[in-house]
Structure 1
Amino acid sequence: MPDPIPAYGPRPVERRLPTEEARDLLGLVREVIEREVKPKAAVEEEAGHFPRDLFRLLSESGLLGLPYSDEFGGGDQPYEVYLQVLEELAAARLTVGLGVSVHTLACHALAGFGSKEQRAEHLPAMLGGGLLGAYCLSEPASGSDAAAMRTRAVRDGGDWVLDGTKAWITHGGVADFYTVLARTGVEGPRGISAFLVPGDAPGLSAAAPERKMGMKGSPTAQVHLDGVRIPDSRRLGEEGQGFSIALAALDSGRLGIAACAVGVAQAALDEALAFTADRQQFGRPLADFQGLRFMLADMATAIEAGRALYLAAARLRDAGLPFSKEAAMAKLFCTDAAMKVATDAVQLLGGYGYTVDFPAERYMREAKVLQIVEGTNQIQRVVIARQLAGPETRR
């Protein structure tokens, strides 16, 4: 006989995975989460501890290269599957889910635009060799306006010499490699190139990590490049192609953020369901009260809508179809939904939701950053509107 369905409380997310291999993969992910992630998440986040050993374990388990070709050590999984893994990881601890998403983003330029020789030399270690990556696009004075970057790379014989500062870099100071966008030519987007920079390159250093509202376990820091010399063999793609490489990476990365947002929202809903099922007021569970039941229903609906949106965009990507607009929509909707769901979870827990003894307040603080990273939600609206109505008229 199957176990009876509980009257109240969270239920496992039902995944619609395309293959038996994908279902086995998700089983492995859930085992790792239950054993290695959940037991330490709250304590390590409060202490600001970055779980570097956990990322090595994820690499050894094949979970840091899921959407990349098995020819170079990747998992050869469709984005539809990879994103559902990200959602599970982010629900357990956003530092881990977002960290995997950022690492995947850092590998994108090499996997998509590197030569076969470059991929053969570097990708196996990046995907399954225990390495961790970071992505360096933003700068102190150029966030949303990434094409205004000031970091420069100057040719010197067969080498490039990089100088500048990158800002808001997840894994800054702990990464083993950095995908760096730098200006190699004229002003604007056409004068930018992409480079693969080792984490131990002379002249590369990181500032002290930023003191953040949430995600305290994930280091975010400025990265300084002071005469960093790398050979031309570490330039990715053609000279001047860097901005288009960056945009292609961001389209995929935004789906990663959307999946992470749904994970955080799901965790917040699960916490609210468990609390309202257990908490008694006026002689019955909070979950009996219609006003609160309607809040839970709205939270669950927003989560399912977000999940459907990011999966639909992922299927477009897997089919080789344009998905830039859909990725921006997914990032916009899912992160806004996560913020609303997490805020409502705090409200449903009442005073307990405002204390660090319950994870709801952490979910609320973490959800906020997802509306900012990989292009603010205001920028997502710009991207969507351009796809719908064309570029803005300049007078």
Structure 2
Amino acid sequence: MQRTLALTLGLAAAAAASPALADLKIGFLATLSGPSADVGQDQYDGFMLAIEQRQGKLGGVPVKVIREDDQMKPEVAAQGLTKLLDRDKVDIVTGLTYANVLMALQGKIAASRIPFVGSVSGPSPTAGAQCKPNLFVTSWQSDATAEAMGKYLADAKLDDIAIMAPNFLGSKDKITGLKRFYHGKIVQETLTPLTQLDFSAELAAAGSSGAKGVFAFFPGSQGVSFVRQYQQFGMLQKLPMYSVHTIEPGSVNAIGKAGLGAIVAEAWQPSADNEQSRQFVAAFEKKYKRPPTSFAAFSYDAAILIDAAVKARGGDVRDSAALNAALRATPFPSVRGSFRFNRNNYPIQNYHIYKVVEGKGGKPEFQIMVRNVLADHEDAYAKDCNPPRATAG
């Protein structure tokens, strides 16, 4: 009897210590306040939707999400990440909204073995020489959507464009990407403060620059302000707008008819025709009463990726090197349909061109113009990535 009791207690203790029964602790570090809080909130909502659909689990393991607001300030992000790593002892970090913030965290990421799964920011150094086996990005390398727009403008043989964007690394990557494919004349290039919301002086200058079109990148609430003012200045009638991450499904209602006619490049929009995307869009709209942006979609993908990798590990998240290997190699159903990681843990995927048109009920929607303007596209920096691939340690 005592031997049976001891065996039972031993099995119970082993079960209690089993990694499959331990909570999966995820740190969600993102920009959740300030002018660009909409982007971080979209990330969070997309990520949490996937967890809710799986009854609070990923890979069959109960999930605890610990949220930290970086306020779009590198020093605040560094403090938040230190807390997540040292005090909260998280198993994975996700979110990672802005390029300047992500770059400030590179030392801490390099010193850690745990996975970092970003779903928006994709600064060029982290895709090339500073790539890491424990840093994954489910969205795109920052140049990529602008590369797609550059290809579209080059194919359209449009000369004389003006460029307008906020002054930070993400914008500079976008402009580099545009120029990689577009070789027409750039008559004006304007970088504004990252928190600026009044663009009247810059729009007046663009209107008199001789440009035949404007390439714009203004994320979050900056995009709403920019597009509204663009319309108020009568610019759309004179200068077509070619944008990335400026007019989003989550902001089209706030922008209204001011955005009609704009041309947009993106890897995904809510109109994507695959089952994973359709169920995601329906579930997101039902829960949050708004259409999802790509920021929400790629954060949802981040959760689905983690779900698949943890499941492949049998729920064991203690071996970080093995979990990194599983994140890199485990297939998962992306809202984009076609998706795989390159050697630098950035996506190889398709990019499309959309036009903002008046849809059902007069609401703006994104109508596809050019499918796969860049197909199975790899970023330009992967060739410079030479880390040890994520393998079990």
What TM-score do you get using the length of structure 2 for normalisation? 0.30
Query: Which protein is richer in strand relative to its size?
Result: 2
Which structure is higher in RCO with an 8 Å CA cutoff and minimum separation 6?
A: 2
What TM-score do you get using the length of structure 1 for normalisation? 0.30
